[in-house]
Amino acid sequence: QVQLQESGPGLVKPSQTLSLTCSVSGDSISDGSYYWNWIRQPAGKGLEWIGRIYPTGGTNYNASLESRVTMSVDTSKNQFSLKLSSVTAADTAMYYCARDISGWYGRFDAWGQGTLVTVSS
């Protein structure tokens, strides 16, 4: 059974870059036909899709965040990562990584437990 686990700093200063990693176990990122995604959720609010990455490194990002987002994949470590630059308090949220089993249509069948990132000085 696939498991995903987010990791990274829980506190980031305004204007700095948020960096998170998602470690995948029970499935090989490089073997499947899946896209790997980042999704966030501010406290008490709804879900926002951030973007997706394919094992070969191809990416798609939410247009509202595209100028600040970079995703990467390390198949040797079975991990993928998120970088969000120039963060503000509005980027404070629970960040989830998730597997899209449909390819890229948004069928997220496996999620990490989430990691809370707070942007504050």
Partner 1 sequence: QSALTQPASVSGSPGQSITISCTGSSSDVGAYKFVFWYQQHPGKAPKLMIYDVNNRPSGVPDRFSGSKSGNTASLTISGLQAEDEAEYYCSSYTSTPSLVLFGGGTKLTVL
Q: Minimum distance from CB of 14 to partner 1 (Å)?
A: 25
Q: Minimum distance from CB of 94 to partner 1 (Å)?
A: 9
Interface with partner 1, residue 75, by CB under 8 A: no
Interface with partner 1, residue 25, by CB under 8 A: no
Under rule CB under 8 A, how many of the chain's residues touch partner 1? 22
Closer to partner 1 by Cβ: residue 43 or 76: 43
Report DSSP letters for 72-102, one per residue.
Answer: EEETTTTEEEEEE-S--GGG-EEEEEEEETT
Give the CA distances from residue 71 to residues 53, 60, 74, 87, 91, in Å, rounded to whole numbers and listed in that order: 7, 9, 10, 16, 16
Task: In whole angstroms, give the CA distance from residue 116 to residue 21.
Answer: 13
Residues of this chain that interact with partner 1 (CB under 8 A) are: 37, 45-49, 60-63, 96, 102, 104-109, 111-114
